[in-house]
């Protein structure tokens, strides 16, 4: 790796994050039969099981559209759901900063409870630690989750059945979460709200429609670009994306233009990318009929050209590649 | 050739090269201010951040640019007081809020950003703010545009910078048209703007009538922004300056006039000893900046020289030719 | 696709203006521009307004874009641009 210290870029979901993950998996991975995707999916005494964990350190802990608690539940529920699992049980570990108001903690806990109820999951165990003032930003939360899959959905997380001709679907506008958090950090006033939401019901409906879903991933840190570039490398096919079809809210587009940000690289917390074969039209209809999928679109296709590359057809009919940045996006001068 | 980092980014973001016929080629010139600024400038900024009681404020573009040994970003990660700001106005506010510290703002960029640095200095002077300093590496465009032609760069026309021209007006390019018989079209940044500018240049070439034209009429006026120009000329004077990848170009830099020397950051820290040096072995940034070669011609491109580990000037900023090519175009489709 | 997002002047206080950039409110300096009023559109660069946008010129560029899109896609995209 090029850097010898951890920087904020290592946490941004870009290339440096991928480098770290390679270091972890090369040390931890002992069982090659367990696919380590958003969730680890494996056979167990309980059937085909999905198991995942995530930590949440967002600052500030409240932002338009959500809070750190809601995020902690949705993130883990979504990691299980996109692996094809029905999420069932979560654990929750708090690291609390000395001096945090208990009322504030309780409001976050209530938010987690409400979100878990709406997702139909139970938080059944947890842990609490307190650290000295300054050692963390008010609170950090880790959630781990367990869910169970039907056998026919086992390969969805790995994308083993993805083939040329498959369509790429997304359930709505990209970039809102990333900009909502940025806006509140920098006191930008606008109407951008995080899309933070549990996707498991929408996904469950889609899985019940037909068996054409070949791959799913939620687009979190690193954005839509990270999911697409990882997928194209994993399956060794090309991906062709049509820029005109990528759903983007006007206020998100405006702020991106102003700051010089690429919306494809912005974080989301309520977006699923579904790659589906011949039955994709029914999947799209099912997505559109769910409250979290009203702006669903077909954004692209898996192709047998340029394997491992994602190519965007721009709004004016030009073409360019989509890649992921090394680290965080920063506003540009010009 | 375009000579504006914003144009380089737009051209590749919209995929314009993939739409043009084979007989129209776009070359990226030295339009990215970060790319043409010496590595020692970053070393100077770093030295400021290591000096007691100095807060270094910087725009996002500079934070990852490597100096000779390290970058502002890495030093920030180690705990130096280096703050990313969106504007020099934020730096002024930090100066007001931290009277016991000295606040340094590295000023890079061409005629678009120089007036902003000038306005900030004038505001500091008016309000008696005596802890605000600029570390200037500002440069101006016309000398380098002329230098490229005299060095033998073969182009048929210039797509002229959009926001520089908003400030300067269009007449600064007149002598390029007259002396070198090269068309100059001032362009906006949207896909249509750039395509229309290319179209206007092609028309001139076909009629063999090089001319100065303005495509960006909604923002650029012939006389430019007189107020901004006046401020820039009040605070800065031209001087010789060294452009990374090109060398020294007479009258191409902007230095603080003696009346405003009290705002010059170079008096409050120890500047780095310097002899401007050639690029690393194998690096052909100089030829790329002049349009003689493309990033694909460079043996280091995308192997040893990447955005994460930039070797040469053209890769250090997101708007540099190599960084843009890497992001949007490598292994061209 | 629309033109560079111009900043609309919402209110002016001294040398600063509250502007709307595609829906996000921002405070920008108007020290470098002249003859700027509420309702005008301004080009913003790094916290400063640097030019007033000429609405007539902007409209003529938008119209040209509409014409090109029409020819490219053989459809009337005026409704799409209006949204």
Interface test with chain A among B15, B84, B86, by most A beta carbons within 10 Å: B15
CA nearest neighbour of C46 among B122, A130, B119, B214: B119
B131 touches chain C (CB under 8 A): no
The residue of chain C with its CA nearest to that of B229 is: C32
pLDDT tens for each residue of A14-59 = 888 888 888 877 877 776 767 666 788 888 887 899 999 999 998 8
CATH (domain of C45): 2.30.30.140
Alpha carbon dihedral A203, A207, A212, A215, in 10-degree steps, equals 40
Domains of chain A: 31-153 (3.30.1330.10), 167-322 (3.90.650.10)
Cβ of C23 and A317 within 8 Å? no
Cβ of B115 and C32 within 8 Å? yes
Residues in chain B within 8 Å Cβ distance of A325: 307, 327
Residue C62 lies in a domain: yes
Candidates B163, B188, B217; nearest CB to C50:
B163
Cβ of B13 and A309 within 8 Å? no
Contact A144, A53 (CB under 8 A): yes
Dist. CA A158–CA A33, nearest whole Å: 12
* Segment A128-138 mean pLDDT: 90
B235 touches chain C (CB under 8 A): no
Candidates A188, A315, A316; nearest CB to C24:
A188
Cβ of A15 and B308 within 8 Å? yes
* Edge-to-edge order in the sheet of strand B82-85: B82-85, B54-59, B102-107, B132-136
Dist. CA B37–CA A333, nearest whole Å: 14
- What is each CA distance from A8 to B64, B67, B84, in whole angstroms? 12, 19, 13
Candidates B108, B307, B333; nearest CB to A321:
B333
Residues in chain A within 8 Å Cβ distance of C46: 333
Cβ of C46 and B90 within 8 Å? no
Residues in chain B within 8 Å Cβ distance of C53: 218-219
CA angle, residues B114, B119, B121, in degrees to nearest 5: 95
Candidates A314, A323, A325; nearest CB to B14:
A314
Cis previous bond, A60, omega within 30 = yes
pLDDT of C83: 34
Q: Provide the residue count of chain C.
A: 83
pLDDT of B36: 87
Query: Which chains touch B (3+ CB pairs under 8 A)?
Result: A, C
Residue C68 lies in a domain: yes
Quickly count: other Cβ atoms within 10 Å of residue B332's Cβ.
Answer: 12
pLDDT at A146 over 50: yes
Candidates B119, B188, B189; nearest CB to C48:
B119
Query: Which chains touch A (3+ CB pairs under 8 A)?
Result: B, C
Contact A220, A75 (CB under 8 A): yes
- What is each CA distance from B122 to A75, B231, B234, C22, in whole angstroms? 49, 8, 9, 31
The residue of chain C with its CA nearest to that of A250 is: C22
Locate B136 and state its tokens.
């200037």
Domains of chain B: 36-139+226-269 (3.40.50.11740)
Residues in chain B within 8 Å Cβ distance of A6: 77
Beta bridge partners of B241: B249
pLDDT of C75: 46
Contact B209, C16 (CB under 8 A): no
> What is the span of the domain harbouring residue C38?
5-75
Dist. CA A169–CA A93, nearest whole Å: 34
Residues in chain B within 8 Å Cβ distance of A315: 14, 191
B80 touches chain A (CB under 8 A): no
pLDDT of A65: 95
Cβ of B77 and A5 within 8 Å? yes
d(CA A126, nearest CA chain C) in Å: 40
d(CA C35, nearest CA chain A) in Å: 23
Residues in chain C within 8 Å Cβ distance of A251: 22-24
Dist. CA A2–CA A20, nearest whole Å: 11
Predicted TM-score of the model (pTM): 0.86
CA angle, residues B212, B213, B218, in degrees to nearest 5: 145
CA angle, residues B280, B283, B284, in degrees to nearest 5: 140
Cβ of B61 and A186 within 8 Å? no
> Could you read off the pLDDT tens digit of each residue along chain B, which spans 333 residues?
999 988 998 998 899 998 999 999 998 888 888 888 888 899 999 999 999 899 999 988 788 888 888 889 889 988 899 999 988 999 999 999 999 999 999 999 999 999 999 999 999 999 999 999 999 999 999 999 999 999 889 999 999 999 999 999 999 999 999 999 999 999 999 898 999 999 999 999 999 999 999 999 999 999 999 999 999 999 999 999 988 888 899 999 999 999 999 999 998 888 877 777 666 778 888 888 887 888 989 999 988 888 877 888 788 777 788 888 888 776 544
Residue C82 lies in a domain: no
The residue of chain A with its CA nearest to that of B7 is: A334
Dist. CA B321–CA B109, nearest whole Å: 16
End-to-end Cα spacing for chain B: 22
d(CA A264, nearest CA chain C) in Å: 16
Candidates B86, B123, B221; nearest CB to C47:
B86
Contact B186, B165 (CB under 8 A): yes
Residues in chain C within 8 Å Cβ distance of A191: 23
Candidates B77, B86, B330; nearest CB to A321:
B330
Residue C26 lies in a domain: yes
Contact A261, A172 (CB under 8 A): no
* Edge-to-edge order in the sheet of strand A213-218: A213-218, A272-276, A167-170, A297-303, A238-242, A310-313, A319-322
Quickly count: other Cβ atoms within 10 Å of residue B24's Cβ.
Answer: 15
Cβ of A254 and C4 within 8 Å? no
Cβ of A318 and B60 within 8 Å? no
Residue C61 lies in a domain: yes
pLDDT averaged over every residue in chain A: 91
> In which residue are the tokens 């590749």 written?
B12
pLDDT tens for each residue of C6-31 = 789 999 999 999 999 878 898 999 99
pLDDT at A118 over 90: yes
Residue C53 lies in a domain: yes
Q: Which pLDDT band holds residue A333 (cuts at 50, 70, 90)?
A: low
The residue of chain C with its CA nearest to that of B89 is: C47
The residue of chain B with its CA nearest to that of A2 is: B309
pLDDT tens for each residue of A184-213 = 988 788 999 999 999 999 999 999 999 999
B49 touches chain C (CB under 8 A): no
Candidates B112, B188, B191; nearest CB to C45:
B112
CA nearest neighbour of A90 among A114, A116, A55, A62: A116
Cβ of C32 and B192 within 8 Å? no
Share of chain A above pLDDT 90, in %: 69
Exposure letters B95-106 (e unless 16+ CB within 10 A, then b) = beeeeeebbbbb
Cβ of A257 and C44 within 8 Å? no
Cβ of A333 and B327 within 8 Å? no
pLDDT of C73: 61
Query: Phi/psi class of residue B82: alpha, beta or left (left: φ > 0; alpha: ψ in -120 to 50)?
Result: beta
> In which residue are the tokens 């061209």 written?
B332
B69 touches chain A (CB under 8 A): no
Cβ of A321 and B109 within 8 Å? no
Residues in chain B within 8 Å Cβ distance of C34: 227
Dist. CA B6–CA B110, nearest whole Å: 12
Residue C49 lies in a domain: yes
Map residue C74 onto helix, strand or coil: coil
Candidates A255, A315, A334; nearest CB to C22:
A255
pLDDT at C79 over 50: no
The residue of chain A with its CA nearest to that of C24 is: A190
pLDDT of A332: 59
The residue of chain B with its CA nearest to that of A330 is: B60
Map residue B328 onto helix, strand or coil: helix
pLDDT of C61: 77
Dist. CA A75–CA B252, nearest whole Å: 53
Q: Please report the beta strands in A57-176, taking only residues with DSSP state E, as ranges in sequence order.
A: 62-63, 66-67, 86-97, 122-131, 139-149, 167-170
* Segment A103-125 mean pLDDT: 94
Residues in chain A within 8 Å Cβ distance of C21: 254-255, 257-258
CA nearest neighbour of B132 among B156, B158, B157, B106: B106
Q: Which of A262-276, B2-16, B314-328, C64-78 is the most confident on average? A: A262-276
Contact B305, B298 (CB under 8 A): yes
Dist. CA C56–CA B316, nearest whole Å: 39
Residue C81 lies in a domain: no
Please enumerate in sequence order all residues whose Cβ is within 8 A of that of B258, keeping only pairs 6 or more positions apart, or say none.
Answer: none
Cβ of C64 and B115 within 8 Å? no
């Amino acid at each position: 790796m090029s850097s010898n210290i951890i920087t904020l870029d290592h946490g941004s979901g870009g290339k440096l994050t991928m480098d770290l993950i390679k270091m972890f998996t090369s040390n931890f991975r002992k069982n090659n039969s367990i696919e380590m995707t958003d969730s680890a999916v494996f056979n167990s005494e309980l059937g085909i099981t999905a198991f995942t964990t995530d930590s949440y350190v967002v600052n500030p802990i409240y932002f338009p559209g959500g809070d750190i608690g809601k995020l902690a539940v949705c993130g883990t529920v979504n990691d299980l759901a996109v692996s094809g699992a029905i999420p069932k049980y979560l654990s929750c570990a708090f690291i609390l900063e000395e001096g945090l108001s208990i009322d504030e903690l309780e409001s976050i806990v209530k938010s987690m409870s409400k979100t878990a109820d709406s997702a139909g999951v139970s938080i059944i165990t947890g842990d609490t630690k307190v650290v000295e003032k300054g050692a963390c930003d008010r609170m950090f939360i880790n959630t781990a989750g367990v869910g169970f899959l039907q056998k026919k959905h086992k390969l969805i997380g790995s994308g083993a059945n993805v083939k040329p001709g498959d369509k790429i679907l997304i359930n709505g506008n990209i970039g809102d979460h990333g900009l909502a958090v940025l806006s509140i950090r920098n006191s930008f006033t606008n109407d951008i709200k995080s899309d933070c939401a549990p996707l498991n019901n929408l996904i469950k409906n889609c899985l019940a429609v037909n068996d054409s879903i070949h791959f799913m991933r939620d687009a979190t840190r690193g954005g839509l670009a990270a999911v697409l570039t990882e997928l194209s490398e994993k399956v060794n096919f090309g991906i062709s994306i049509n820029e005109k079809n990528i759903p983007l809210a006007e206020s998100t587009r405006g702020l991106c233009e102003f700051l010089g940000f690429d919306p494809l690289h912005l974080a989301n917390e309520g977006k699923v990318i579904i790659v589906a074969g011949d039955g994709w039209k029914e999947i799209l209809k099912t997505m559109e009929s769910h409250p979290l999928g009203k702006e669903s679109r077909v954004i692209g296709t898996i192709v047998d050209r340029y394997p491992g590359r994602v190519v965007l057809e721009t709004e004016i009919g030009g073409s360019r590649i989509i890649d992921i940045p090394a680290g965080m996006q920063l506003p540009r001068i010009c | 050739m375009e000579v504006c980092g914003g144009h380089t980014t737009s051209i590749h973001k919209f995929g314009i090269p993939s739409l043009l016929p084979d007989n129209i080629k776009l070359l990226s010139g030295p339009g990215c201010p970060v790319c043409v600024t010496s590595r020692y400038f970053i070393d100077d900024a770093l030295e400021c951040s290591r000096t007691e009681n100095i807060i270094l404020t910087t725009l996002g573009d500079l934070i990852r640019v490597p100096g000779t040994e390290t970058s502002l970003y890495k030093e920030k990660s180690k705990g130096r007081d280096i703050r990313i700001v969106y504007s020099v106005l934020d730096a002024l506010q930090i100066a007001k809020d931290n009277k016991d510290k000295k606040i340094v703002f590295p000023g890079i960029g061409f005629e678009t950003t120089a007036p902003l640095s000038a306005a900030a200095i004038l505001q500091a002077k008016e309000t008696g703010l005596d802890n605000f300093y600029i570390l200037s590496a500002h440069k101006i465009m016309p000398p380098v545009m002329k230098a490229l032609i005299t060095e033998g760069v073969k182009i048929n026309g210039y797509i002229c910078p959009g926001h520089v021209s908003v400030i300067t007006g269009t007449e600064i390019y007149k002598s390029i048209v007259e002396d070198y018989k090269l068309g100059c079209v001032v362009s906006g940044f949207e896909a249509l703007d750039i395509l229309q500018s290319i179209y206007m240049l092609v028309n001139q070439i076909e009629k063999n009538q090089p001319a100065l034209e303005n495509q960006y009429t909604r923002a650029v006026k012939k006389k430019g922004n007189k107020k901004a120009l006046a401020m820039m000329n009040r605070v800065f004077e031209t001087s010789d300056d060294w452009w990374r990848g090109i060398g020294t170009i007479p009258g191409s830099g902007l230095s603080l006039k003696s009346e405003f020397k009290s705002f010059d950051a170079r008096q409050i820290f120890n500047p780095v000893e310097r002899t401007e040096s050639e690029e690393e072995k194998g690096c052909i940034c100089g030829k790329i900046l002049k349009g003689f070669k493309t990033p694909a011609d460079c043996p280091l491109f995308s192997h040893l020289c990447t955005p994460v580990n930039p070797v040469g000037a053209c890769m250090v900023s997101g708007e540099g030719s190599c960084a843009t090519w890497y992001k949007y175009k490598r292994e061209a489709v | 696709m629309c033109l560079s997002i111009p900043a609309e002047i919402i209110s002016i206080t001294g040398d600063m203006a509250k502007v709307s950039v595609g829906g996000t409110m921002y405070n920008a300096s108007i020290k470098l521009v002249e003859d700027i009023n509420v309702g005008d559109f301004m080009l913003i660069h790094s916290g400063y307004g640097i030019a007033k946008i000429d609405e007539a010129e902007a409209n003529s560029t938008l119209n040209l874009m509409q014409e090109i899109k029409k020819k490219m896609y053989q459809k009337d995209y005026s409704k799409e641009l209006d949204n």
